[in-house]
């Protein structure tokens, strides 16, 4: 079961999917700005936030869970960042009738090289001694040697919550064990599972951060093959978390896309 947060009561539906280590609430700032004109829904993906923890991560299974919340007769604008962008693309290919338009933020329909920054994040979070945490500032101090970037550290620590039932009164709200184990799956693109899917022919806004390596010219062919009506927009001097680094620009570009 997926946890949902809804904002707005009128207009078309816009559904947001977060990235790895994220939660639906990461989109709250953008969602509030849109909620006067649209019915906005923020979803916690499996293994994240307040959604269930299955025994594995699978793109198709995750996409099907999200699709189950979208009526056949009321297609939505689907917005996904990073991991959520991959889930959104898979859903669009499997259930195009449920997606009126698609916005993919800083991710491509490709398999990425192993490594990158995420194994280090898992190791740092799993290695933290929660027995030393009395308040959030303690957690920040403990994580700092492994995650020097203040913004990234703050993002990761959003997953730490007070939990009276936990041994030390704190627990992680993200399924570190399964997601770390299945990180090779998360880095891939489920080509074989989508072998029979036709290209998605709806409008696609493909956003990229200029300082990110998740959207490269080498990936254009894969995107064009599966999403032929895509329009790529690159945010200058912006990294992977472009919606948090450049929220005003992100909102402006998304609003134009919604109004097309």
Would you name the residues annotated as active-site residues? Answer: 82, 177, 240
Contact 84, 51 (CB under 8 A): no
Name the DSSP letter for residue 55. S
Residue 162, strand partner residues: 170
| CA separation for the pair 121, 176 (Å, rounded) | 10
- CB-based contacts of 149, cutoff 8 Å, min separation 6: none
State the residue for tokens 């994220």.
Answer: 22
- Rg from Cα positions in the chain: 18
Helix, strand counts (H, E) of the chain: 11, 9
N-term to C-term CA, the chain: 33
- Which whole-number Å values give the CA distances from 113 to 26, 55, 155, 215, 241, in the listed order? 26, 24, 23, 13, 19
| CA separation for the pair 196, 215 (Å, rounded) | 25
């Amino acid at each position: 079961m997926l946890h949902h947060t809804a904002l707005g009561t009128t207009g078309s539906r816009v559904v947001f999917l977060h990235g790895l280590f994220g939660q639906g609430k990461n989109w709250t700032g953008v969602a509030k700005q849109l909620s006067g004109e649209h019915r906005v829904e923020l979803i916690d993906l499996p293994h994240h936030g307040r959604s269930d923890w299955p025994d594995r991560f699978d793109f198709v299974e995750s996409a099907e869970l999200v699709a189950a919340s979208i009526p056949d007769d009321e297609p939505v604008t689907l917005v996904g960042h990073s991991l959520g962008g991959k889930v959104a693309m898979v859903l669009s290919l499997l259930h195009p009738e449920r997606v009126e338009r698609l916005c993919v933020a800083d991710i491509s329909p490709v398999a990425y090289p192993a490594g990158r920054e995420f194994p280090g994040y898992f190791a740092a979070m799993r290695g933290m001694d929660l027995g030393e945490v009395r308040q959030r500032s303690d957690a920040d101090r403990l994580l700092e040697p492994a995650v020097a970037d203040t913004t990234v550290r703050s993002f990761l620590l959003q997953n730490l919550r007070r939990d009276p039932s936990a041994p030390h009164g704190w627990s992680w709200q993200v399924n570190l064990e399964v997601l770390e184990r299945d990180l090779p799956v998360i880095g891939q693109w489920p080509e074989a599972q989508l072998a029979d899917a036709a290209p998605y022919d709806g409008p696609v806004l493909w956003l990229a951060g200029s300082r990110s390596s998740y959207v490269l010219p080498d990936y254009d062919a894969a995107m064009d093959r599966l999403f032929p009506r895509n329009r790529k927009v690159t945010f200058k001097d912006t990294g992977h978390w472009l919606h948090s680094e450049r929220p005003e620009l992100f909102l402006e570009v998304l609003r134009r896309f919604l109004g097309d």
